[in-house]
Structures are given as C-alpha cells and as structure tokens.
Amino acid sequence: MLAGAALLGALLLVSVVIPPSTRGPRDSASNIPTSTTTVAPTTTPAPTTSTTTTTTTTTEPPYDGWVDPETSGTRWGETVEGLLTFRGNPTRTFYGEGPIPEQPEIIWRFPDSPMCSPSSSGGEVITWCGTGWTGQPSIFEKDGRIWTAFGAYSRAIHVLDADTGERILPDFPTGDIIKGSVTIDPDGFPLLYTGSRDNFYRVIALDRDEQVELWKLSASAVSPTLWNNDWDGAGLIIDDHLFIGGENSQFHIVKLNRGYDPDGLVSVDPELVFNAPGWDDELIGAVGRNVSIENSVAISGNTVYFANSGGLVQGWDITGLTDGVEPTRVFRYWAGDDIDASIVIDDEGMLYVGVEYERGTERSRTEGQVIKLDPSRPDDPRVWGVDARPRLDSGVWATPGIVRDLIIVPTDTGEILGIDRATGEVRWRKQLPGPTWSSPVIVDDVWIEGDCSGVLHGFDVSDTTIDPPELWSVELGGCIESTPAVWRGHIVVGTRSGYVYGIG
C-alpha cells in the first residue's frame, strides 16, 4: 500500500507539473449510416412468343458493422445535412459540400470585439484569442436555415446563422477555453457535444430558448488518469454511443440513451460503458507520462483508432460492444513522438498518421513524420514514411487530407507536402507562412488552406501531380490554426486575431 501511495503521489505530482500547452492541437468527430445498395429487380417483359421470363435480383446486404470502410470520403449519415464533426465523418475524411465560392469575400465577422480569455496551465497564464487548433466549426441545415456552431477562446459555445453571423441562441459559457471542434448529433437529436479545458466533455441541448447542458463527463471520472484534463478531441456518435479520447489519457465510450421527455424536449441518460488507458507500460518506459489523447478518434469497420502524445497508434475492436463484449486492443504501433493530428482512414482501411518531432527519438528518425499504416498487417504495418523534421519542435499538427491518389500534409514550418498515397513519394512541396496547423479542406477539387499570416487560400487540385496553382485568397488577419468548415457556398473559419468569419 505504501508503494501504491507513493506511486499515487508521484502521479499527482506529475499531473500538476505540466508545461503550458501553447502548442497542443485538437480535433472533432461525426456520425454513421449503414449503407444499403439495392438494385431493383429487372424484369424483362416476356415476349408473347417466349416461354421464359428472366428476373435478376441483386441485393447487397447492409454493411454488418460499425462503419463501412467505403464511407471514407463521404458525408456521414442521411438524417442531418451538414459537416457535423471534425473532418465530417468517422474516418475523418469528409470536408463538406460545394459549391465553393469562385471569388470568396468576407460576408460577416463574429463577434463585435475580439474573443479573448486568459487560461492557466502549469501555473502560467496566457491570454488566448479567437479560435485555434483544431477549432473546426460544424455547419448544418436545421429548421430551414444553415447553422454554424463552434467553441472558442471566448470560453463559450456559439451558435450562429451561417448566412448572417447573427446568434441563433445565446452563447453557452464554460469554465475555460475551448480548443477542439464540436460534434452535432448525426441522428437528428438537437444535441451538441463539446469539450472544454474546464475538465468537462458536455452534451448540450439546442431545442430551447438557450443552450442547456444535459450532462457532462469529468476528466477525473475514470481512473487511473495521466497528464491533464482538457478535451481537445471531437467525439463520434454512432448507434447511440459516444466515442471520445481525453487529455486524461483515457479512451471512453458512453451509451447516451437519447430520447425526448414528455414535453417533447430532447433528453439523454448517459452511462459510461467502457474506458481504458491509452497507454501501456512499454510506452511509459519509452516516453514517460505525457500520453494525453488530443486527437479525435476515428472508426473504420469495427475498430476505433486513435493515437496519443506518446506517439502510440492503437486500434480497439468494438465488434461486440452492443452485446456487452468489452473492446480489446487489436492494433499497436509506436511512431516515436507526439501525435495530435487525427488518424485519417481511406476506403481500404489504411491509416495516415501525422507525427510531431519534439522528443528527437531514434524511432522518429526511422519511421518519419507522415506514416501510412496497414492495420491488416499488425506485425509489420508501416507501408511508407516521409521525413518532415527540419529541426527539433517541428513535424505535423494538421490532420492529413486525402484527394484521390494524393495525401496533402501541412507541416509546422509552413511547408506543405503533396504525397503519393500509394508510394509515399513526395510529388510537390508548397511553402506558406507557418506554422500551418490548419487541416486541408478539399471540396470540388478546391483545396482550402489557412496560413499563419492570416490568409485563406484556395488551390486547384484537379491535377494531383503538380504543385496546385492558387485560385484565390482572402486576407483575414491573425494566424489561421483552425480548420475551415465548408457547406454549400459558405466557408466559416476562425483565426487567432479573435474573430470567426463567414466567407461566401
């Protein structure tokens, strides 16, 4: 017991001594449909002289699992039209829908004065303005309007009309800044899911005169925890379950039990059904105790993938979850350094991983900072790796973007890599004012990228073999760390100068 108490003391000590996380990244998540393709029976009218009638029926059964890998790149769900979580779907590969404005300009700016708040970490207080990493707004259609919702360094959740920037609902204050991206319920329940640095991950109702908190999960609700209590990741909502990683270094699954109360107002009755440390002894031995989960979990097939600040990429099998079977870890790969970018999964189930270079480990040099993994080969998953570490404290914070045969990966120095998805060959390099932490958004062959001088660019990626030519740019002012949201003629993005912009 003494040893246990000493260990606990050491853990508490460790959990307090945290460097100001000015360089932490963040993310968001989405929803799920089952895909059903039914080919109607083809009946050939029988000629009067014929003695046979041929009927051909081909029915592809619905996907029998959590997330059909073939939904990579597509909108998640049929119920709510919009971009509902960080990177729009469970494989973090949906960017929104066009059209993209041909000559975009600022339509509105929110709010009247800059959104700034102090936030303390490790005893140091820093004032944060605007929105940061990952900070991707959700944008969706509801009640005949286009809504946009985001958390900000105002410490609040804002819900606006995407056409005007006017508030649809009063702001919802939390106790600290919000870095991550919100998730909107994909099944049509008027619910918003968000983390805050105030230690809670919340479920908020959007069907009343103001935003109302229905439930919150504390970062200290589970044990053991390591490192911190922020929630940068965006949850995924699938089949009434919430999947979310925390900076407490644990992975959580919550059964939401969504419904409506007798007055017709949305309700939840959540139950934490599973949690597990995102670390193991081998990882702690290699990197120490900074193993927070800051990326947004991704799901393909029946496997939940995420990584942590210790560089551990892992997959957890959730096949039997609804039957009470505990998830088990089925995939483990160590990249050598902090992974805050979300894992991106293509339609073949391949993982694309962006890695920072902060610790300078030998493993970082052998594996690279952009890595393709094949989880069907758990003993030897690395397909290729690309180096992106010109100096210590570099590498990748942005979540990679897939466009057909190309992977676009912004790096910390402002150099953006266009990588052949199959071979790992770097086809082109583009230099923008860094750091570039904003994740690529690609809609209708237009790649939208924010840089740290405050310029939002549109590039033509119709030819993936060449350095994409610029189509337009919009000057916003303030470093663009956040990922833009795109929906049917609207672009919404925040900057570190204090504002969020509607562009059309």
Question: Which residues contact Ca ion by CB under 5 A?
Answer: 24, 230, 232, 294, 309, 338, 340
CB of 393 to Ca ion, least distance (A): 9
Tell me if residue 49 falls in helix, strand or coil: coil
Extract the tokens encoding 230.
């922020």
Q: Which is nearer to Ca ion, 71 or 199 (CB)?
A: 199
Closer CB to Ca ion, 342 or 497, in the complex? 342
Instruction: Determine contact, residues 86/483, Cβ cutoff 8 Å.
Output: yes
187 or 294: CB nearest Ca ion: 294
The CB density around residue 47, as the number of other CB atoms within 10 Å, is: 9
- Return the number of the residue (24 or 301) whose C-beta is nearest Ca ion: 24
Residue nearest to Ca ion (CB): 24
3-class DSSP state for residue 10?
A: helix
Residue 493 three-state SS: strand
How far is residue 209's CA from residue 225's CA, in Å, rounded to a whole number? 37
Q: Minimum Å distance from CB 292 to Ca ion?
A: 6
- Residue 185 DSSP SS3: coil
Residue number with CB closer to Ca ion (185 or 358): 358
Nearer to Ca ion, 338 or 367 (CB): 338
How wide is the angle at C-alpha 479 spanned by C-alphas 473 and 484, nearest 5°? 60
Rounded Cα distance between 190 and 205, Å, is: 6
Least distance from C-beta 356 to Ca ion, angstroms? 5
CB of 368 to Ca ion, least distance (A): 17
Q: What does residue 76 show for φ and ψ, rounded to 5 degrees?
A: -95, 110
Q: Which is nearer to Ca ion, 309 or 394 (CB)?
A: 309
**What is the residue-wise DSSP string for 223-270?**
SS--S-----SPPEEETTEEEEE-TTSEEEEEE---EE-TTS-EE---
The answer for residues whose C-beta is within 8 angstroms of residue 246's C-beta and 6 or more apart is 195, 201, 219, 225, 229, 230, 231, 233, 252, 292, 293
- Phi/psi for 127 (5° steps) reads -95, 125
Least Å distance, CB 26 to Ca ion, is 6
Which CB atom, from 338 or from 481, has the smaller least distance to Ca ion?
338
Residue 471: both structure tokens together:
């189509």
**Residue 365, Ramachandran bin (φ over 0: left; ψ between -120 and 50: alpha; else beta):** alpha
Closest distance to Ca ion from the beta carbon of 230 (Å): 4
Q: Pick the closer one to Ca ion by CB: 21 or 138.
A: 21
Supply the minimum distance, in Å, between the C-beta of residue 485 and Ca ion.
21
Q: Count the Cβ atoms, other than its own, within 10 Å of residue 171.
A: 18
Q: How far is CA 203 from CA 76, 121, 172, 367, in A?
A: 20, 25, 12, 38
> Which of residues 68 and 338 has its CB atom nearest to Ca ion in the complex?
338
* Shortest spacing between CB 23 and Ca ion, in angstroms: 5
Residue 201 one-letter amino acid: Y
**Closest separation in Å from C-beta 153 to Ca ion:** 13
Which residues have C-beta within 8 Å of that of residue 49, sequence separation ≥ 6?
none
CB of 308 to Ca ion, least distance (A): 8
**Least distance (Å) between residue 236 CB and Ca ion:** 18
φ/ψ of 160, rounded to 5, equals -125, 160
| Of residues 249 and 497, the one with the C-beta less far from Ca ion | 249
